[in-house]
């Protein structure tokens, strides 16, 4: 057994094998860097506003709605783009979101929301998917830009202060609520919801 281990050890560290392994390792590293760079570049390219509104379904509907909101134009000059609210910033969750987005490509091909009428018919379903995701992750994307610590209650409206201050101070009795529970429709038109009378 010892003799076998010595033979394997000698073979692995023979100069010709070491050089071959080194070249193979170097080629693997170069291919890995190229793949990683290309993959990351593609992910970032799909996070741009231009990419998001490149299809008419988004450009003619939700983009037009978004342009009328405080997330598009405001006194501070800070603009949130589509990916700020719809794509996680952390790498792992971002990859998961991008994989799930392939379903959206399938529906683009099918023409599921290809006309304004089809879009409006699906608006509640689409919004509900986004709201459910935001509820499940405690409105993580909202918190990428908004923080409790940075809120200046003195400059908020009376109603906003009454709602937000108890949450921040921990005196709010509502358990499990998150940003999206109160802020649906903040960047897009609310879907029509059928109500029971």
Q: List binding-site positions.
A: 52, 55, 58, 82, 85-86, 104, 142, 145-146, 179, 182-183, 188
Expressed in angstroms, the distance from the first to the final Cα of the chain is 84
Task: Name residue, tokens 């003619």.
Answer: 60
In this structure, the chain runs to a length of: 197
Q: What is the C-alpha separation between 184 and 126, in angstroms, rounded?
A: 13
User: In 3D, which of 73, 67, 68, 39 has the Cα closest to residue 53?
Assistant: 67
- Binding residues for a menaquinol, by number, are 82
- Concatenated DSSP letters for 20-78? HHHHHHHHHHHHHHHHHHHHHHHHHHTTSHHHHTSSHHIIIIIHHHHTTSTTTS-TT--
Q: What is the C-alpha separation between 70 and 93, in angstroms, rounded?
A: 26
- Binding residues for heme, by number, are 52, 55, 58, 85-86, 104, 142, 145-146, 179, 182-183, 188
């Amino acid at each position: 057994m010892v003799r076998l281990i010595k033979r394997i050890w000698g073979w692995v560290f023979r100069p010709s094998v070491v050089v071959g392994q080194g070249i193979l390792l170097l080629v693997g590293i170069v291919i890995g860097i190229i793949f990683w760079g290309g993959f990351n570049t593609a992910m970032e390219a799909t996070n741009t506003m231009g990419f998001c509104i490149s299809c008419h379904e988004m450009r003619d509907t939700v983009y037009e709605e978004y342009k009328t909101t405080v997330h598009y134009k405001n006194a501070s000059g800070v603009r949130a783009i589509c990916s700020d609210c719809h794509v996680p910033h952390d790498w792992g969750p971002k990859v998961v979101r991008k994989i799930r987005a392939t379903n959206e490509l399938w529906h683009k091909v099918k023409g599921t929301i290809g006309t304004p009428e089809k879009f409006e018919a699906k608006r509640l379903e689409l919004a509900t998917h986004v709201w459910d995701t935001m509820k499940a992750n405690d409105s993580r994307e909202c918190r990428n830009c908004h923080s409790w610590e940075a809120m200046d209650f003195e400059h908020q409206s009376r109603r906003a202060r009454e709602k937000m201050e108890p949450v921040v101070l921990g005196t709010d009795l509502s358990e499990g609520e998150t940003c999206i529970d109160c802020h649906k429709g903040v960047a897009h038109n609310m879907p029509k919801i059928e109500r029971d009378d």
